[in-house]
A and B are shown apart, each in its own frame.
Chain A
Amino acid sequence: MKYMDEFRDRRLVTTLARQIHGEAGRPVRIMEVCGTHTMAIFRHGIRAMLPEEIELVSGPGCPVCVTPSGVIDGFLDLARRPEIIITTFGDMLRVPGSGTGPGNSLAGARSEGADVRIVYSPMDALTLARQEPDREVVFIAVGFETTTPTIAATILAADELQVENFSVFPAVKTMGPPLKALMRDPEVRVDGLLCPGHVSIIAGADSFRFLAREYGLACAVAGFEPTDILLAITVLLRQIDSGTPTVDNCYGRAVTMEGNRKARQITEKVFTPVDSEWRGMGLIPKSGLGLRDQYKQFDITSRLNLTIPPSREPGGCRCGDILRSICSPPDCPLFGRACTPASPIGPCMVSSEGTCAAWHKYNNPEALT
């Protein structure tokens, strides 16, 4: 299939892997901050192709994983109100809140009678609101730069169509502030960054330049096929070895330096930066997006004057440290024992793109050595 097979080509992959083996010298830590990268790395077995010196670690790039448990509790509180239909992307469904018991996730609340529906686009939620004028349809707005423009466009459409029974629960975030926070964190040691391909399509490769300039971090924007990822690693190694950190765009078929200005304008029209809490990282200034005053009527939290309960992390869970890359899933005492994909405790195990879920599913290191 075009745009897929050629980027999975075994000969090309082998050549790139060989090149990386040739160039690897001292130990290097490369972080990927996108859940889709995490999954792609595991799915294609990329770790097994790399020399020991290169360590791949995951950052806070899975939107499901970084949503704090207090916000999930807020979703659950809404879901239990009979007049409300919750609409959500599928991977939010199983994420546990801070409570216990079977009703402690949207899937659990649904089993207990809540009206929770999976949608594939926020526009589907707006369509549903128009079909069900007597119910309040709330869309759980979770995601990063990639997802936000479609949410913003939906709010603009709802405004234009004067749909009064549609609203969102805003929990969207941006990638820049947490990366800055990570770079300032003395516990975090990263030499190179595999910049998120999807986010870059919107934000532009240039949006990561501050990391190279201010923090000396080698940066490469990467796509999601094996050759994309291996090429980006090669480029990162060269930047690191030569001591010339910059931003290289290795995903030219989708990403430009400037990004998608129109999509950003739509986002900026509807949303404005707000302080936001990240699971495992705490409150990060201006790292989230809230609705601007003229669209506040579409914000269910302000419409109902909801307060978000404080987050409580489950005891023993090290998702926070894993999201900051200071430990790997097997370092967590719960991993693979109390916490498995079938009965997840921490968010990194719940999301299919979470680091723990990916480790558990694809890379049980004891099994592969």
Chain B
Amino acid sequence: MTGYITLDHGAGGLASQKLIGSLFLKHLKNPILGRMEDGAVFDPGEGRTAFTTDSYVVDPIFFPGGTIGELAVNGTINDLAMCGAEPRALSLALIIEEGFGIAELERIIKAIADSADHAGVPVLTGDTKVVPRGKADKIFINTSGIGMVGDGIRMGADRIRAGDVLLLSGTLADHGITIMTSRAGLTVDGNLQSDTRPLHFLSRKILTEAPESIHAMRDPTRGGLGTVLAELATTTNLCMEVEEENIPMRGEVRAACELMGLDPLYLANEGKCVVIAAPEQAASVLGAMQATEAGRQAAIIGKVTEKYPGRVILHTVSGGKRLVEPLSGEPLPRIC
């Protein structure tokens, strides 16, 4: 489709109907959404309900490895997965700037549909608003998600004990550095790509195989691994000790971080999780993670101790050690 989004497309009249029919329903086809009711009525299945929401305002909206669309689906699914929930349904709300290209919008909707399909989580209800040019930056997306948590699953920072093992599901900082270099217009040799992907297949697998041993899960999105670990250390008043050497990272990501003076510990990830597991089951949890697509490069990166309560300690590649504080402010590239 070609053309541009006008204020009419958000007015609820004929133009809105046409856009919904020719674009949203065409790609996001499922019987509940197709009924076009004011809300979705469905049976989410057994268990306790997990409910989450997130808004997506990434700039640029198209980047190597994905679009704002994949992020909007995977991000919300991952929030549910981190609660130990099976994601069941998503809502999708768009705020579009007048003048946004319909072809670009279709590309995003298609990305949303493909990600939802791949994840097996349908978009059951939605909304579209158009705001005058300059009142929003191209497109903003909000998704909410509902998931169900099985009976035997109990996760939370309160279950973390000294001796637990820290596992990371894959390479660090791919998304953050891709966005930063795209914004800077830098090209780096190799293949920088966002890692956006759903994590519920991985969480399902490890929670099925070792439900009792998984004490907590977190996805290090904004603020990165450093901030997530610092929060866990503060909440538990335990020490998170990490071996820098064991953190999986792609060579081109490391190079780009060095070049821009950015610490990968504070860059965003959109398809990675930290799993805190009981030490007895560490090997089998690692094996289960590695058996999934999202966790092929999973690694044990450290352990929980009582050494420096409330702190994160990084043992550096070269044998030194340092403190890891939570990120404050946005990461900024340096002068020289």
Contact = CB atoms under 8 A, between A and B. Distances in A.
Interface of A: 1, 4, 8-10, 13-14, 17, 35-36, 39, 42-49, 63-64, 89-94, 118, 120, 124, 142-144, 146-147, 198, 226-227, 340-342, 352-353, 360-364, 367-368
B184 A120 contact: yes
Contacts of A63: 335-336
Contacts of A8: 316-318
B335 A48 contact: no
Contact of B329 (A39, A42, A124, A341): A341
Given A44-B320, A226-B316, 9 more contacts: A1-B254, A14-B319, A44-B316, A63-B336, A89-B335, A92-B335, A94-B332, A118-B333, A362-B324
A52 to B, nearest CB: 16
A362 B335 contact: no
A361 B314 CA distance: 12
B323 interface: yes
Contacts of B319: 10, 13-14, 17, 45, 49
6 contacts: A13-B319, A45-B321, A49-B319, A93-B332, A120-B185, A363-B322
Interface of B: 184-186, 245, 251, 254-255, 258, 260-261, 263, 308, 311, 313-325, 328-329, 332-336
Contact of A120 (B316, B322, B323, B333): B333
B318 A44 contact: yes
B109 to A, nearest CB: 31
Nearest to B258: A4
A362 B336 contact: no
Contacts of B323: 361-364, 367-368
Nearest to B249: A1
Contacts of A367: 308, 311, 323
Contacts of B325: 341, 360-362, 364
Contact of A353 (B185, B322, B334): B334
A92 B263 CA distance: 18
A46 B320 contact: yes
B302 to A, nearest CB: 15
A43 B321 contact: no
Given A340-B328, A341-B328, A352-B261, A368 B321 contact: yes
Given A63-B336, A90-B334, A9 B318 contact: yes
Contacts of B336: 36, 63, 143-144, 146-147, 198
B272 to A, nearest CB: 21
Contacts of A353: 261, 334-335
Nearest to A229: B318
Contacts of B251: 1
Nearest to A45: B320
A198 B254 CA distance: 20
A42 B316 CA distance: 10
A125 to B, nearest CB: 13
Interface centre among B314, B315, B324, B328 (most CB of A within 10 A): B328
A340 to B, nearest CB: 7
Contacts of B311: 364, 367
A231 to B, nearest CB: 12
A10 B255 CA distance: 19
Nearest to B309: A367
Nearest to A365: B323
A226 B321 contact: no
A53 B322 CA distance: 20
A91 B331 CA distance: 9
A144 B334 CA distance: 13
Nearest to B334: A91
Contacts of A362: 322-325
Contacts of A341: 325, 328-329
A13 B321 CA distance: 13
A49 B320 contact: yes
A42 B322 contact: yes
B318 A10 contact: yes
A43 B333 contact: no
Contact of B334 (A89, A226, A364): A89
A330 B329 CA distance: 22
Contacts of B318: 8-10, 13, 44-45, 226-227
Contacts of B317: 8, 10, 44
Contacts of A47: 320
Contacts of B263: 43
A293 to B, nearest CB: 27
A88 to B, nearest CB: 9
A64 B314 CA distance: 27
Contacts of A363: 322-323
Contacts of A17: 319
A8 B321 CA distance: 13
A242 B263 CA distance: 39
B322 A43 contact: yes
Contacts of B184: 120
A48 B334 contact: no
Given A1-B255, A367-B308, A367-B311, A48 B332 contact: no
Chain A to chain B: the 7 pairs with minimum beta-carbon distance, closest first: A45-B320, A90-B332, A226-B318, A13-B318, A342-B328, A341-B328, A45-B322
A89 B334 CA distance: 7
A34 to B, nearest CB: 9
Nearest to B325: A361
Nearest to A36: B336
A189 B336 CA distance: 27
Nearest to A359: B323
Contacts of B254: 1, 4
B223 to A, nearest CB: 13
A142 B335 contact: yes
A220 to B, nearest CB: 19
